Every structure is written in structure tokens, then in C-alpha cells.
């Protein structure tokens, strides 16, 4: 840990002026002020500024700068510095909110002109000056009226003050979840006491102030390493109906070394970006002529796609699913029956008019599977009845959200629907969750969590309270029993029922929904699905939607980033490259390659005019897992030089042995 204060021995303004210390009690600075890694104290579970007097007998712990709370405090203080800098450069800028988020902070401003890269550099310069000034953060408790008077020129702050009573959540420091969202109002004000934080210069004049719950670091000198990273527009309070504000994003760290390490991590992540690797490895592309969000898979990407499809088809059959097939378009009535059309008309491709009917490209497969279920009478003996297919669906995603393979307009779901009795539903859901977790394990993914999407208090859903309660309880029990971390997502359910989804993050930390399991009691009712029970009565089944990969396209994108293109051998588009030391050894390697190909291995022999070094380099750049190199010595010995992707090698390996090792590695589905 590098000392965050550039000159700790110099007089610390916070130490000789404690306006809060009216009672003569000890403050956090008295206790911990010598240790610049301490940025706050926890007093009876609340996080306090170091300058606040600590009541006698209270339990007090230091909050270290590199703890999650400490980092959030550092970043929140950095947000104040950014805001002060922006308002000093643009006095007309009105303040929005400025919370800490993962790795950094943002601050929103109502500003006539958007920030430019140049103006952001200006902001950064002023911030550096403010940090150098070591402005002290002073906390002041104020009444609503006082706050409103002081912030009379800040309309957004006034709105927060007016809304204070609505905010019940008692959040001391809000740590963002990485996607930049977060309940804004809980960050700046909470229930009860309002506080204003002043930034004081050396002469105690107020350089800047903001309505804020705090806490903050003692002075701006505690913010040694930061940068402004980007700007963007953001709707006030996250509502599209509100005005767009200009948001400045920044990052802040306890030391320059940590800032550098963070920047290095970002650069590494950019190297893994599936859009970049997809082009470099010749896996897929997005031809302009097709339109936005419509990928084509090249032969090498096609191999990965086919391996995934083969895997998941085989597994579905093993798990008792029937493979079905449905068309890409349907008359619109089907989507009225299912209830989708009113909800998703705007995000479906517009209808085609034909012979007096409107046809839609399907955006989901479930209605068609329902028609198969309804195709004849069903008995309770058939249940669970499970349908599975690769369903290509088309969704007119808005232009601003299309993103590589992770958000496309045409995608293939490995979509399945299980029709079960209500009693069978819990068991089926556990079964599907096991299926999904096994699949993720087989593909080597380990960084994910479950999201439990429920109705919350939104009213955009159909079905009775009781049905929702039952469905939610069933999913919740399965999710909590899985051993995987579960994150609640109130309000995130499908309109027809709650869901469990697997969420994973891409190279730059954005999270994406992968597998889903949804409990649906609505569509069976809307389609009039029924089965004959043992007692001869007609009963309505529950349907459970599940997609194991989710979208094949998105899963490929995540796989590319997870492996940085170096796929496990069984998924590698080319598993083995033969590299002859010179042209005359090509026939020998072709013979070895033929034997590998017979064993089901994807193998190529590089018979180009390049030198062997170049061929090794090319295979290495293509991230081929195995290279077999052969020259005169090898031919004489009936052997090959075996080179792995990590650069290690074994010379003089008998051909038999090399073939066995490769086929074993491919069959084992392991990473090498």
C-alpha cells in the first residue's frame, strides 16, 4: 500500500480545526488520523466521517481505504471533486447526482453543451488542483428549509430534498453494481437528517458544497490517483421521460500503482473483446448489407456453433426432451393468443401482409410449442412432456442497444418447454437448473450468478397474486438450493411469470443474461392447454420455459471472451496444425493428419511457402491447441515434435502417442 497522502508529516488542516468537536469528545481523526489508510470510522454499524465526535462508549472500528466501504468513500469524494471542477469551469452547470460505482464514480450535470474529450481533460486538470489544495470536507446538519435555501439554484437537488420523505432506504454508501445504475436518490439523501458537505480551503472559505449523506474522506489530499474516463448522456433519475443530463465518469484508487493496474486490466479486457477476436480469428462478422445486429458465422465460428448445438441437442435427448421444429413466421393471431403482441409489438419486426393476413417473424417459440401440445388430447401419463428445438427468433432491438453477438436482432435459442402438472413443477425446475449448471461446467464457465426475477410491485404483469406467489416460491426454493449466489431482481419477470436466469459478465464487466428458466401459468390458460388427469378430470398444465445457452450467439460471444479465443480443444475450430520443418516433410505430416482426421480431429497441415517459424507464429496467433512439427529426425524415428499452445514442447513423441494424447484431450472436454 502506497501512502495516499503525498506529505503526511505536513500540518493536516483537518487536525487543527474540528468544527464538529463541540463537545470536546474524541473524533476519528484523534484516534486514527495518523494512519492515512483510514478514511472513516464505523460507529455502531454506521459509517462516519473521521471528523465527527465519537459518543462515549460507542463501538468504533476504522474503515480502511482499500476495503469496499473505504473505496466507495474515496470514490464518492472524488465525485465531489469532479463536480466542483465542472462547476468552476462551467458555472451554469446544474448538479444531478454523483455516486460511487464499481471502480469509480460518476456525476451528472445539466449542461447546455455535452462534454468533449478536451473539456474532460480540463476537468481533470482542475481536479488535480483541488486535490493539491487538500480541501477539507466539512459535514453540516441542516433542516429541509435550510437545505432548500442554500441550494436554491440547484433545481435537481431541490427535487431530491422535496422527495426526501419518499426515500426510506437507509443506505450509507451505495456501491454500484457495475452497470452504472443504482437508486440515485438513496445515494444523496436518505430518510431523516439532511446534511451538506462543504469543501473548505486553507483559510476556511467554502470552495464548494453539495447536498450529500456522506461520509467523505477528511480532505481531498486523500484522493491521490484518479482519472476522468468518459462522458455520456443519462436521463435524470433514470427515466426516459426526464431530461438527459451530461454524465462524467471517473475512476479513483488509493494509489497510482493501483490506478495503473486498473488501466492495465481494462486494456487486457479490451484484448479479449469478442468483437475484436471474432474478426481476428475469422469466426463471424456483421455485414452491413444484412443490417445491424445480424451476424454471419464463418467456417471457424461455425465449428464452435455446431459443437455447441451437437452438445445441447444430445443432452436434451438424454434428459427426456423431444426434438421438434417450428417455422420462423406466423399469422398474428398466434401472438394475440399468447399475449405477447401487446407487450412486444414495438420490438417485433413489422408484419408482412399476405392474402388478407398479417404475418410476423417470431420473436419467441413458446406459442408454437403450445400448438404442438394442443395438437391432440394429452394424458397425465405423458407428463412431463418436454419439447426442444433450435428456434431462430427475430427481435427489433433498438438501434442503440445492438452490441456484437451479445445483443443481436436475429438469434437462435436452444429453447425448450416442459409441460408438467403443478405438483411436478418444483422437481422439473430443480432438474432444469441442474441441467443448466452442468452445461456451464462443461463449457468451463465459472463466473456467474443466478438472478431471481419477480413481479415486484410493477403492474405490467398478468395473472393472479396467488399464482405469482406460488410460482415465485417454487423458483426461489430451487435457486437458493442450487448453491449458486442468488441476486433478487424485483420487477424483472416476464409478463407471464417469474424466472431464474444465469447472469455472467463480459470482458469489460457488463453482465448478460444467459440461461433462463421461467415458470408460466398464463400461456397454458390462454391457449386452453389441458390434460386428462387420473381421475378423468381435465386439468391445466404448468409450462416451464428454459433455454440452456439462452442465445447461441450470445453464449459464443461470452465463450470467446472467457477463453480470450484460446478455446478448449473440443471447441477449437482447428485442433491441430502440422508444421513441416521444410517442404519435403509435408507428405509425412499429411499422413499423420489423415490418421487424426479419421479419429475425428480437426487438423490442418501448413504446406505454404512460409518458413516454419512463421507457420508456428501463425498457428499460435490462431490459438490452435496442438502443433505437430516434423523434420528429418522425426521422419526417421516415426515421431513428431509436439508443441502446446502455451509454448511448451515435447520432442520425439511417437506418432501413435501423439494421436492418443490429442484424441484423449478432445474427448475429455478439458482446457489445456
Partner RNA sequence: GCCGCCUUAGCUCAGUUGGUAGAGCGACGCUCUCGUAAAGCGUAGGUCGUCGGUUCGAAUCCGACAGGUGGCUCCA
Which candidate in 49, 273, 415, 506 is catalytic? 415
C-alpha cell at 571: 471447441
366 annotated as a binding-site residue: yes
Q: Which of residues 577-616 bind RNA (CB under 7 A)?
A: 581-584, 608-614, 616
CA distances from 349 to 91, 353, 392, 409 (A): 46, 13, 13, 9
398 forms part of the interface with RNA (CB under 7 A): yes
Q: What are 321's strand-pairing partners?
A: none
516 forms part of the interface with RNA (CB under 7 A): yes
Among 18, 403, 505, 526, binds RNA (CB under 7 A): 403
CB of 146 to RNA, least distance (A): 31
Among 633, 656, 657, 664, binds RNA (CB under 7 A): 633
DSSP state letters, 320-371:
TPEE----SEEEHHHHHHHTHHHHHGGGSPPPEEETTEEEEE-S-SHHHHHH
Cβ–Cβ contacts within 10 Å for residue 330, how many?
19
Among 363, 471, 517, 593, binds RNA (CB under 7 A): 363
651 forms part of the interface with RNA (CB under 7 A): yes
230 forms part of the interface with RNA (CB under 7 A): yes
SS3 133: helix
Among 53, 426, 488, 492, binds RNA (CB under 7 A): 492
Active site residue 203: no
Which candidate in 37, 378, 545, 615 is catalytic? 545
* Site residue total, RNA (CB under 7 A): 79
364 forms part of the interface with RNA (CB under 7 A): yes
Active site residue 413: yes
Of the candidate spans 154-162, 477-485, 532-540, 639-647, the one that interacts with RNA by CB under 7 A turns out to be 639-647
545 annotated as a binding-site residue: yes
Binding mask 536-575 for RNA (x = CB under 7 A): ---------x------------------------------
Active site residue 447: no
Q: Give the CA angle between residues 110, 112, 116 to the nearest 5°.
A: 95
Distance CA 181, CA 144 (A): 27
180 forms part of the interface with RNA (CB under 7 A): yes
Query: What is the C-alpha end-to-end distance of the chain, expressed in Å?
Result: 35
Active site residue 366: yes
Give the closest residue to 134 by CA, choosing from 197, 81, 71, 70. 81
C-alpha cell at 102: 464499481
C-alpha cell at 608: 505454404
Among 33, 302, 456, 631, binds RNA (CB under 7 A): 631
163 forms part of the interface with RNA (CB under 7 A): no
CB of 524 to RNA, least distance (A): 15
181 forms part of the interface with RNA (CB under 7 A): yes
Q: Given the complex with RNA, which of 344 and 380 has the nearer CB atom?
A: 344
Among 214, 218, 254, 293, binds RNA (CB under 7 A): 293
Largest separation between any pair of C-alpha atoms in the chain = 93
CB of 35 to RNA, least distance (A): 35
Distance CA 648, CA 228 (A): 42
Long-range contacts, stretch 208-211, CB < 8 angstroms, 24+ apart: 208/80, 208/83, 208/84, 208/87, 208/88, 208/135, 209/150, 210/80, 210/83, 210/95, 210/98, 210/157, 211/147, 211/151, 211/154, 211/157, 211/160, 211/161
Length of the chain: 672
Q: Which residues are catalytic?
A: 366, 395, 413, 415, 417, 499, 545
Give the residue numbers of the binding site for Zn(2+): 366, 417, 545
Residue numbering of the annotated binding site: 366, 417, 545
Amino acid at each position: 500500500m502506497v501512502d495516499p497522502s503525498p506529505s503526511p508529516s505536513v500540518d493536516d488542516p483537518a487536525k487543527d480545526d474540528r468544527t464538529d468537536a463541540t463537545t470536546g469528545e474524541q473524533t476519528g481523526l484523534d484516534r486514527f488520523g495518523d494512519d492515512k489508510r483510514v478514511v472513516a470510522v464505523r460507529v455502531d454499524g454506521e459509517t462516519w466521517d473521521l471528523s465527527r465526535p465519537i459518543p462515549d462508549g460507542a463501538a468504533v472500528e476504522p474503515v480502511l481505504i482499500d476495503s469496499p466501504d473505504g473505496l466507495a468513500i474515496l470514490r464518492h469524494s472524488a465525485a465531489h471533486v469532479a463536480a466542483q471542477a465542472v462547476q468552476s469551469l462551467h458555472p451554469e452547470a446544474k448538479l444531478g447526482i454523483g455516486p460511487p460505482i464499481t471502480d469509480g464514480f460518476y456525476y451528472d450535470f445539466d449542461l447546455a453543451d455535452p462534454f468533449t474529450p478536451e473539456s474532460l481533460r480540463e476537468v481533470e486538470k482542475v481536479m488535480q488542483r483541488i486535490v493539491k489544495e487538500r480541501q477539507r470536507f466539512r459535514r453540516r446538519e441542516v433542516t429541509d428549509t435550510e437545505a432548500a435555501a442554500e441550494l436554491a439554484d440547484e433545481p435537481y437537488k431541490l427535487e431530491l430534498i422535496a422527495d426526501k420523505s419518499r426515500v426510506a432506504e437507509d443506505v450509507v454508501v451505495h456501491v454500484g453494481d457495475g452497470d452504472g445504475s443504482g437508486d440515485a436518490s438513496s445515494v444523496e439523501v436518505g430518510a431523516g437528517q439532511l446534511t451538506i458537505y462543504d469543501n473548505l480551503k486553507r483559510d476556511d472559505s467554502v470552495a464548494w458544497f453539495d447536498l450529500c449523506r456522506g461520509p467523505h474522506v477528511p480532505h481531498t489530499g486523500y484522493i491521490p490517483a484518479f482519472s476522468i474516463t468518459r462522458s455520456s448522456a443519462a436521463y435524470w433519475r433514470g427515466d426516459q421521460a426526464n431530461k438527459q443530463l451530461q454524465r462524467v465518469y471517473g475512476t479513483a484508487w488509493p494509489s497510482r500503482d493501483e490506478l495503473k493496474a486498473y488501466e492495465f486490466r481494462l486494456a487486457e479486457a479490451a484484448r479479449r473483446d469478442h468483437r475484436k477476436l471474432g474478426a481476428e480469428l475469422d469466426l463471424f462478422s456483421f455485414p452491413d448489407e444484412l443490417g445491424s445486429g445480424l451476424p454471419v458465422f464463418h467456417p471457424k465460428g461455425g465449428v464452435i456453433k455446431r459443437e455447441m448445438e451437437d452438445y445441447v441437442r444430445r443432452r436434451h435427448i438424454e434428459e427426456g426432451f423431444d426434438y421438434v421444429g417450428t417455422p420462423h413466421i406466423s399469422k398474428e393471431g398466434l401472438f394475440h393468443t399468447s399475449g405477447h403482441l401487446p407487450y412486444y409489438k414495438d420490438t417485433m419486426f413489422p408484419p408482412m401482409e399476405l392474402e388478407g393476413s398479417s404475418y410476423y417473424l417470431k420473436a419467441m417459440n413458446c406459442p408454437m410449442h403450445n400448438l404442438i401440445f394442443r395438437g391432440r388430447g394429452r394424458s397425465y401419463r405423458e407428463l412431463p412432456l418436454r419439447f426442444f428445438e433450435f428456434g431462430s427468433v427475430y427481435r427489433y432491438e433498438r438501434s442503440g442497444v445492438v452490441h456484437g453477438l451479445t445483443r443481436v436482432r436475429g438469434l437462435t435459442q436452444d429453447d425448450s418447454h416442459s409441460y408438467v402438472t403443478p405438483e411436478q413443477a418444483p422437481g422439473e425446475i430443480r432438474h432444469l437448473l441442474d441441467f443448466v449448471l452442468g452445461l456451464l461446467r462443461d463449457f468451463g464457465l465459472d463466473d456467474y450468478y443466478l438472478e431471481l426475477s419477480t413481479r415486484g410491485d410493477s403492474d405490467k404483469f398478468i395473472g393472479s397474486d396467488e399464482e405469482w406467489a406460488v410460482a415465485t416460491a417454487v423458483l426461489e426454493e430451487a435457486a437458493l438450493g442450487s448453491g449458486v449466489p442468488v441476486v433478487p431482481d424485483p420487477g424483472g419477470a416476464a409478463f407471464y411469470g417469474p424466472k431464474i436466469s444465469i447472469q455472467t459478465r463480459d470482458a469489460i464487466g457488463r453482465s448478460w443474461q444467459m440461461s433462463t428458466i421461467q415458470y408460466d401459468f398464463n400461456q397454458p390458460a390462454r391457449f386452453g392447454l389441458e390434460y386428462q388427469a387420473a381421475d378423468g378430470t381435465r386439468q391445466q398444465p404448468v409450462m416451464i420455459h428454459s433455454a440452456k445457452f439462452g442465445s447461441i450467439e450470445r453464449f459464443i460471444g461470452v465463450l470467446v471472451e472467457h477463453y480470450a479465443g484460446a478455446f478448449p480443444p473440443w471447441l477449437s475450430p482447428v485442433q491441430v496444425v502440422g508444421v513441416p520443418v521444410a517442404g519435403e516433410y509435408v507428405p509425412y505430416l499429411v499422413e499423420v493428419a489423415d490418421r487424426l482426421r479419421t479419429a475425428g480431429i480437426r487438423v490442418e497441415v501448413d504446406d505454404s511457402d512460409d518458413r516454419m517459424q512463421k507457420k508456428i507464429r501463425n498457428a499460435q496467433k490462431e490459438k490452435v491447441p496442438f502443433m505437430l512439427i516434423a523434420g528429418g529426425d522425426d521422419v526417421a524415428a516415426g515421431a513428431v515434435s509436439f508443441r502446446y499452445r502455451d509454448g511448451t514442447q515435447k520432442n520425439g513423441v511417437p506418432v501413435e502417442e501423439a494421436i492418443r494424447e490429442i484424441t484423449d484431450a478432445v474427448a475429455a472436454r478439458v482446457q489445456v
